[in-house]
Structure 1
Amino acid sequence: MLRFQLALPADNNAPLPVCPENRFGLIMVEKDLCNSCLIAVRVLRVSLVDELEGQIESLVDVLVSREVFTRDDREEVLCQPGPRARVRKVLDIVECKGEEAAKIFFSVRNLHQASRGLGKDRHQSTDYNKVKQKHKDVLRRRSESMLFYNTRHGEKILFSEHYVNLLLVDGHQGIESKRHEVLTFGQKRLCLQQKSTHMHRKISPKELFASASGNRPVKKVLVTGAAGIGKTILVQKMLFDFGRNKDYFSFDFVIHMTFRDLNLIDEPTNFRELVLRKNRHLAKELDNILGNDDKLLIILDGFDEFRHYRSCDVDVFVTEPDEDAEVKEVFGSLMQGELLPNAFVMVTSRPAAISHIPVGCIDRFVLIAGFSLAEVQDFFFRYFQDAALADRMFMLVSENELMLTLCYIPAFCYIMCCILKENNDFCRESPKTMTDIYVQYLVALLRSHTQGRAETFLQGQGSGTVQQLSDIVLKLGRLAFQKLMEHQTLFYSSDQDVAALEGCSLVSTFLDKTLAQEPGCTEEIFSFAHLTVQEFFAALYCAASDHPLPVGLEDTVSLGQAANNGHLDLFNRFLSGILSERNASFLSRQVGLCCQKEKVDTYRRKIVTELTTLCENGAHMLNYLHCLFEQQDPSLVLAVQPKTLRVNVCDETLSQMDYNVIKHFLNLTKGKIKELDLTGTGVTYEALRDLQPLLLRCESLWLGENNLDMETVQVLSDVLQVSESITHLGVGWSDIGDDELVALSCAIRVKKKLKELWMEGNRVSYRGLLSLSDLTPDPLRKVVAVWNDLTDAEPVTVSTQDSITVNFTDDNMWEAWGEWVFKRCELSSNEKLLTVLHKVCNISACLEAEWVMTFYRQLAQLIKSRIECCTEDDMCKKLRKFERILKLW
């Protein structure tokens, strides 16, 4: 079929060439369109909307002057909500007016485009550039001061003098990891320093939107990191640099919003209004700014604090900046490219919330890894402003493993410096737990601010001062607790618990106050300086008030559902530490907070009872071990006396602090460890070497779903050569090959104690299996090697070994395997359950046995019960998908 370029007439007689500035004017259309501008209006409709949205008002004025449009037509166009809607209305009116009107429309449009091309540079250099510079000045002014958690009123700390570089790493580590991330940082930090950079590429802020491959543009960036790791500081750094005209930013405008502010909006709104809430100076040029969205960066900070974060994967979209919708729909449309498709977007969040972002649209995942050791030292120097004093304080911290690990997180590094400064070292023995650090932080700030800002208050109250302090802390704690249970981090001045703090001079020590502009009014908004501070005060309130203790440490309907995704993990750890005898006594003396002895005793008995039960049934217990560690009481560990000692910490990337609490518990227990489950924990060579003395006591050791390289396998080999206990070893889906298996087989021959070896889902070939032939059936009664690289003909020496399983033949064995997997599913969170389902739902390709039918029916029933209790729409959708698959069985 013949096609040609469309050249639309400038008037009734002569054609006018298409303007070079027009991106959409050169289009191939059917031959019979050449004499019909009316048809061209319909064919080019989508392109015309994109092309004309930034100039429609002036184009309409010309059409009125040419008497194509009436004044009523003009009013009808201008009443439309937004420039794109106005273009559509113009095209509708042109179609109604017929062919002659369409010819004049294209004539006006082409002439308008040509004149716009000539005047574009002039326009960009006047009003647009003037607003651009004003916006940079505003951002620089807003970001030039750094707000620390106890900055005095009127105190100005320059950002440029106190900012310490953060380590940004390209890529993310386990998006389904949901547990509280404050303490999971330490091990990640060490791994990043020790592993080669080909796995995790270090990047700078200026490279965030630069494509590493150059093939795909980076439009949407998700920045994640632990609480206090520096996400907001990174945002401030970018705003500060943009405001100072740093040349590595190619954007014309940077729009900054926080999800804390977005939480204040209860009614439908639109993106234009969201921008203007804090950027009224952009109003005059906002149409041009949004029209040039390929030069626009939108930064959205603190997604995990968004009250609607569970329901942002929306099905209802807005496409115009002026189109009203719920805030979550505006955000979802922006992320999925329905709104401002050419704009660049950066979102920051704690890892616990990021699975609720529509991640299919994310072009780059960036992990903030906090401070390196050198940067911790730099922070100490900038804080103390004295090299000798900073060195002495840093050496003091370096001697304490917990404190040094926490200092890699900027927020904790600051808290540590604050304690050191206010107390001239430490007011008692060095902190051993996180609660110890926060207790000293509380006492240090109370002492500092009551002396420096409320001296008359102290002198006037005399012996009643301590009671006054305890009342204030309890009021703050009640506010923190009530809002934590409701997933809230912002509190209005009209809130009853906030009103109870009115007139207290100490409130500003722990609460930040901002003013929120609402239609027709201005309201004060309060928040704790940091979410971890809110969690600490909530635990103080629960410990020292009449409020009953939580029913369970996980605070969920059942361990398996894990509905809070770690929401209260840190709260529970703080609660345990505060209810320890040493911290309870210290708080009573220093702050007047008295924990009832009955409550302390009840909590201690509860930990012993629940840990004993968990050891016996093999359920997940990591957060309980942290709570036990916070108590720092060896007698409490000794009171845990289960009939069988099972330690299950699977399916969670373990940090150095996690390993510390595991060792703390196991070093104080006696006898054999029936089972140690480290499945899917990201275990490393260093961690396994550190645990080696404890591994010698294990009977069953499960290390599946970890990347076990030769170094790590060598640690296992050393254990097998010495241990008199280990009889069961699991290394399934751990990426081991023939060489690693040969190393293990050599070690097994030394003691010949190992009875079962599970290594499904690896890279083992028949060559590797042959290394086990002389070990079966004695001592190895069972070797499971399904889902390996067993594609060649089976050697006779393997085919005659009944104890070596390379395919699904033994129903009894696989029924037992199904029971083990199902139990694991019952105890897993919904996120981990999905991970397991992806694997086990593939076994149908291999099996048609009766036990598989039973297994799948059990899983379907489990999924149904999870859906009934699930409150997250996105999670329900994913679970229903597997429910439909399993119903086929």
Structure 2
Amino acid sequence: MISLMKKELKRFKRLLSPDYPACSEGEWDDDDKGQDRMRQGILKITLHILRQMNQADLANTLQTKCAPVCQQKLKSKLKDKFQRINEGIFNQISSTLLNEIYTELYITEGGIGEVNNVHEVRQIETAFRRPETQETSVKCNDIFKALLGQNKPIRTVLTQGIAGIGKTVSVHKFILDWAEGKDNQDVHFIFPLPFRELNLMKEKYISLMELLHLFFKHTKELKSTDYEDYKIVFIFDGMDECRLPLNFAKNPNLFDITEPAPVDVLLTNLIKGNLLPSALLWITSRPAAASQIPPECVDQVTEVRGFNDPQKDDYFRKRIIDQSLANRIISHIKSSRSLYIMCHIPVFCWISATVLQRLLCKAESAQIPKTLTQMFTHFLIFQTKLKTQKYDEKYEVDPQMTQNNILLLGKLAFEQLEKGNLIFYEEDLRECGIDVREASVYSGICTQIFREEFELYLGKVYSFVHLSIQEFLAALFKLISFIGNKEHNSKITEFLKSEVNRALKSESGHLDLFIRFLLGLSSVSSQVLLRGLLAQTESMSSSQEDIVEYIKIKIRENSSPEKSINLFHCLNELNDHSLVQEVQTYLSKTGASRLSGARLSPSQWSALVFALLNSDDELDEFNLRKFDKSEECLLRLLPVVKTSRKADLSGCGLTEKSCLALSSALSSNSTSLRELNLSDNNLEDSGQKHLSTGLKNPHCKLETLKLFDCSIGEEDCAALISALKSNPSHLRELNLNYNEPGESGVKMLSNLLKDQCCKLEKLKLCDCSIKEKGFAALASALKSNPSHMKKLVLSCNKPGDSGIKMLAALLKDPHCKLEKLRLWKCKIGEQGCAVLTSALRSNPSHLRELNLNDNKLGDSAMKHLSDLLQDPHCKLEKLLLSECSIGEEVCIALISALMSNPSHIRALNLANNELGHSGVKQISDLLQNPQCKLEKLRCVLSYYHDIIKCNIEKHASTICTVMRQG
């Protein structure tokens, strides 16, 4: 063993020489599997030591040269496949190098993979409102790295994101950087297995090893044991496209990679960790399909958010050479809220650039699309075969050449939309009357709408360039089919009404964008654009007026403003803004209670919600008092609350009904709420229970919860803390001031603080009737998990000697990082203060604020405090000692200590103490010290000489607030 190790280390030394080639296959030609494994072990140890020595480049070089030959062949194959990217149709001529145009997409730490019961466009509208700073950003190459505060290893990552948002591009970038030797070089093999290709193996009975041989022929050189020795990453892209029955509960367990089984059984066992438990897995999916995987099988959930606002601008400026034209396009996009929001999706940026680049060069501004329907209509026309090269109002699509083909594509789009499919195979095309032998003709007629893809391994797959294109064509097909059907006796208005009703009944909202397009296509302006496809069977001008009125009726009937939001988008597609204009007068008001006394109809409330959600103002904080301090106002504006980062609902007379609604908002997987202030509301028992239900939901990401003076009793507090304990990792601040948590409530709170997942940084428990036992329990709990707490408010309680001793033990702990400690009016006497200050002296560098107001501290305790203040490690900035029985002699000692370490203190409160003449003079001397940085001084000056008064008031005019008597 030792001789082998020496031999290997010599070989490693040779390999690290720049002139020495990689391992040849002959070097590894050893029939002794035991020696082969020992070599692998020695290599792993050597790589680990090199990386520990910060020699990552040497480690990567050694690993690359020692890698089996098949790894280099795989890297070469993957590099060829993923180095180019296509916007629209896959065409080698029009493709671009990925590294040249790649923009780091906004990937964030996500929640749990559950079904989101709103359309993906609504999810984008919600994400558009969410500030980026409230989420943890993750680079695609760091997808398997633990985030700050995470201790567990990450095996399986689930990345969610709506269609076209950039999941696949992120995957391609990850693979390309590995193949080019830029990142993740500790990984031996990456095996991309897209679901769209695995679907083609639905009937196969095959082992995992054979599956890999089929997809990656070079892996035939690997032995079955190699898969356990090497670091392997499997990438399963597009789980929402999966047509395999992934039955995690009923599929049999499988542990041998050489044992044949159906492909879905291989997948479930790989994901569960039965097969190759050491392998890493990256799975991407649209949100609706993410819940197929059991949560216990996923270690990390991330979400691709697409382009943020600066990246949208960057995209247009990179893509369009003429920068003045690029600026005009950006300005136009920003002028339409619906278009600007959709530009979160990279594919929609490409569609917009394609359309606007041509129109702004040749058309009048009146012809420029301002709605989604107009944008997609222009895009459809541009991508079809044309009679002439010019585009103007006389320009028409050739009906004989394209109408039938577009209708067949529309039929495919509609039928597959109903089934929830985004990718199609030959049998899907045949079912819609499309001859698969002529599929390339269809992708040629609609050059960048419908695409025929030749996959890397197994064959052809068909799709539309984006889900929104599919929804647009589905709506076009429905409208043309209705108009062209002579058997229909009903008018177009009745048809549109029935489709509106059908969309409203959809619980998932999957028809939301479809109905927007359908109504937009029925408008007169769309008829003009598509007159070559739409037969003029009846005038639609009166129909448009009728359907606008019908939508307004539906808005009035719908009590939920959130459900009405899409109806307002429909009105926007029909160019009707009357309802929103009605409520603009309320929004233009300034100050508090702008809705006070207003009698708004249900449709006006809905219009108000729509206007707020689509305004240019950032909804960082929702303050109910700015609108109206009423429960009705809160319930009506709940969608706005959910979209805001902070919600201040303090002192608004909230009841059980409000708490039930807030619980629903906290439980929503689309909520942006991070701070909730419910202070000064009598929430009652039932309200507290509803609130607890929301807090324990895994979707709740509250960081700050303020429940100041909410009449929370012992039982309610226990339930509240129990809820927080079941979901503890997000909360950073908890304010329970002026409540009665009782002994059991304090005990539950102590248990929460002990939890290693608890990251609470600020805890406020002022005047909560906490006695000696509860105080000791809290301090003991914090001592067992001390590194997070930064601010602790325990004022107006009765800690007693044992409580103070336990608190002192916490303060001594070197892991304690407490910065603010407030203990005013806690009946802390001379002995208690001495214990506290002694503890602080042993760990003085973190504390910045100490409030001991209204405690009888005594002379010996103040001496300990003076010793603390003159310690050079003491960084105290705020010291509050009002009503602490401080006399003249003690004041002199205190200020003298500050003079020896004057550069940190910013605020000093000595009000209501007997400072005497000498004490006041000492303060004057401190203020004259050039190193003194005091900004706030509170003290009572009753007896002082004129010169002292002059010195103090000279500083008071610029930096101090001084109380004067006599």
TM-score normalised per structure 2: 0.54
2:301 to 352, 365, 371: 365
1:161 CA drift (Å):
1.4
Shift in Å, 1:420: 1.8
C-alpha displacement at 1:353, in angstroms? Answer: 1.3
Does residue 83 of structure 2 align to residue 144 of structure 1?
yes
The answer (yes or no) to whether the contact 1:407–1:413 under 8 Å persists in 2 is yes
2:130 touches 2:643 (CA, 8 Å); kept in 1? no
**C-alpha separation between the residues in 2 aligned to 1:579 and 1:283?**
58
Q: In structure 2, what is the equivalent of residue 256 of structure 1?
A: 192
Partner of 1:394: 330
- How many residue pairs are counted as aligned between the two chains? 620
CA separation of 1:542 and 1:315: change in aligned 2, threshold 3 A: same
Does the CA-based 8 Å contact 2:107-2:139 persist in structure 1? yes
1:203 match: 138
- Report % sequence identity: 22
Match of 2:567 in 1: 625
Aligned to 1:581: 524
Aligned pair partner of 1:113 in 34, 39, 46: 34
| CA separation of 1:628 and 1:142: change in aligned 2, threshold 3 A | same
Equivalent runs, 1:101-180 vs 2, <5 Å = 113-114=34-35, 117=38, 129-150=68-89, 154-172=93-111, 175-180=114-119
1:554–1:569 contact (8 Å) kept in structure 2: no
Which residues of structure 1 form unaligned runs of 5+?
A: 1-15, 22-57, 63-110, 641-662, 746-753, 773-783, 795-889
Query: Are residue 274 (structure 1) and residue 217 (structure 2) matched?
Result: no
Of 559, 568, 576 in structure 2, the residue corresponding to residue 634 of structure 1 is 576
Q: Greater CA deviation, 621-630 or 261-270?
A: 621-630
For the 8 Å contact 2:159–2:285, the answer to whether it is kept is: yes
> Taking structure 1 as reference, are residues 605 and 260 closer, same or farther at Cα in structure 2, changes over 3 Å only?
farther
Q: Work out whether 1:472 is the aligned partner of 2:409.
A: no
Partner SS, residue 179 of structure 1: coil
Q: Given residue 217 of structure 2, which amino acid in structure 1 is its aligned partner? A: R
The Cα offsets for residues 793-826 of structure 1, whole Å up to 9 and x where unpaired, read as 79xxxxxxxxxxxxxxxxxxxxxxxxxxxxxxxx
The structure 1 residue matched to 2:445, chosen from 490, 499, 506, is: 506
Superposed, which structure 2 residues align to 1:305-384 within 5 Å? Answer: 305-308=241-244, 311=247, 314-384=250-320
Q: CA RMSD in A?
A: 5.3
* Per-residue deviation, 1:292: 2.9
Alignment gaps of 5+ in structure 2:
7-28, 44-61, 486-494, 583-594, 667-672, 693-704, 721-735, 744-966
- Judge conservation of contact 1:434–1:574 (CA < 8 Å) in 2: yes
Change (3 A) 1:599 1:280: farther
Preserved CA contact (<8 Å) 1:671 1:697: no
Deviation (angstroms), 1:524:
3.9
* Contact 1:761-1:787 within 8 A present in 2 as well: no
Deviations, residues 625-665 of structure 1 (Å, cap 9, x unaligned): 25533543438969x9xxxxxxxxxxxxxxxxxxxxxx9xx
Q: Does 1:237 align with 2:178?
A: no
Matched-pair contact (CA < 8 Å) for 1:318–1:339: yes
Show CA shifts across 1:327-355 (max 9, x none): 33222111111121111000111111111
SS at 2:130 equivalent? helix
Name whichever of 381-390 and 142-151 sits farther off.
381-390
Task: Return the alpha-carbon distance in structure 1 between the equivalents of residues 413 and 689 of structure 2.
Answer: 48
2:512 to 561, 569, 580: 569
Counterpart CA distance in 2 for 1:487 and 1:240 is 31
Report deviation, 1:166: 0.8
Does structure 1 residue 487 correspond to structure 2 residue 427?
no
- Whether contact under 8 Å (1:309, 1:353) holds in the other structure is no
State the shift of 1:397 in Å.
Answer: 2.4
Contact 1:300 1:347 in 2 (8 A): yes
Cα gap change, 1:630 to 1:475, in 2 (>3 Å): farther
Paired with 2:243 and 2:343, the residues of 1 have a C-alpha distance of: 29
String of CA shifts for 1:377-399, please: whole Å, max 9, x gaps. 22122211344443343233233
CA separation of 1:635 and 1:434: change in aligned 2, threshold 3 A:
closer
- Partner Cα separation in structure 2 for residue 119 and residue 361 of structure 1: 29
Q: Deviations over 1:69-101 (max 9, x none)?
A: xxxxxxxxxxxxxxxxxxxxxxxxxxxxxxxxx
Quote the residue 1:284 is aligned against.
221
Contact 2:624 2:634 in 1 (8 A): no
How much has 1:671 moved relative to structure 2?
A: 8.1
The answer to whether the Cα contact below 8 Å between 1:314 and 1:329 also exists between their aligned partners in 2 is no
Cα displacement (A) at 1:582? 2.7
Residues 704/291 of structure 1: CA separation in 2 closer, same or farther (3 Å cut): same
Deviation per residue, 1:651-699 (Å, 9 max, x gap) = xxxxxxxxxxxx9xx9996887599999xx9x99927759999869984
1:585-640 CA deviation, whole Å, 9 max, x = no partner? 3322xx433475489977986785577467446367246525533543438969x9
Give how far 1:153 is off: 6.3
Cα distance in structure 2, aligned partners of 1:439 and 1:171: 35
Q: 1:388 to 1:283 in 2, by over 3 A?
A: farther
Partner of 2:284, secondary structure, is strand
Is the 1:314–1:332 Cα contact (8 Å) retained in structure 2? no
Is 1:492–1:523's contact at 8 Å kept on the other side of the alignment?
Answer: no
Structure of greater Rg: 2
Deviations 1:763-804 (A, max 9, x none): 8999724699xxxxxxxxxxx99966875579xxxxxxxxxx
| Residues 770-785 of structure 1 aligned to structure 2 (within 5 Å) | none
CA positional deviation for 1:191:
2.0
Q: Distance in 1 between matches of 2:626 and 2:150?
A: 49
Mapping for residues 54-93 of structure 1, pairs under 5 Å: none
Q: Equivalents in 2 of 1:246, 1:737: separation in Å?
A: 37
Per the TM alignment, residue 137 of structure 1 is displaced from its structure 2 partner at its CA by: 1.0
| Structure 2 equivalent of residue 841 of structure 1 | none
CA contact (8 A) 1:760 1:786 kept: no
Residue of 417, 422, 430 corresponding to 2:358: 422
> Pick from 518, 533, 537: which aligns with 1:592?
533
Given that residues 165 and 305 in structure 2 are in contact (C-alpha distance below 8 angstroms), is that contact kept between their aligned partners in structure 1? yes
Counterpart in 1 of 2:876?
none
The letter for the 2-side match of 1:436 is: Q
State the Cα deviation string for residues 150-177 of structure 1 (Å, max 9, x = none): 5666323111211112111123378342
Hey, what does 1:82 align to over in structure 2? none
* Match 1:446 to one of 351, 361, 384: 384
Letter in 2 for 1:168: I
Give 3-state SS (helix, strand or coil) of 1:141's partner: helix
Question: Which residue of structure 2 lines up, in the alignment, with residue 70 of structure 1?
Answer: none
Whether contact under 8 Å (1:186, 1:408) holds in the other structure is no
Q: Displacement, 1:527?
A: 1.6
Q: Where in structure 2 are the equivalents of 1:827-838 lying within 5 Å?
A: none
State the shift of 1:256 in Å: 0.7
Q: Structure 1 residues 674 and 360, CA, compared in 2 at 3 Å: closer, same or farther?
A: same
Give the drift of 1:319.
Answer: 2.3
Instruction: Please give the alpha-carbon distance, in whole angstroms, between the structure 1 residues aligned to 2:577 and 2:656.
Output: 31
How far does the alpha carbon of each residue in 1:414-459 deviate from its partner, in whole angstroms, 9 at most, with x for none? 1111112232356644444322322222223337x7768xx9xx9x
Distance 2:193 2:273 in 1: 18
**Distance in 1 separating the partners of 2:67 and 2:674:** 62
Pick the aligned partner of 1:225 from 153, 156, 161: 161
Return the offset for 1:538. Answer: 1.1
Larger relative contact order (Cα-Cα within 8 Å, sequence gap ≥ 6) = 1
Once residues 678 and 473 of structure 2 are traced to their aligned partners in structure 1, the CA distance between those partners, rounded to angstroms, is 51
Separation in 2, partners of 1:275, 1:235: 19
Q: CA deviation at 1:317?
A: 2.9
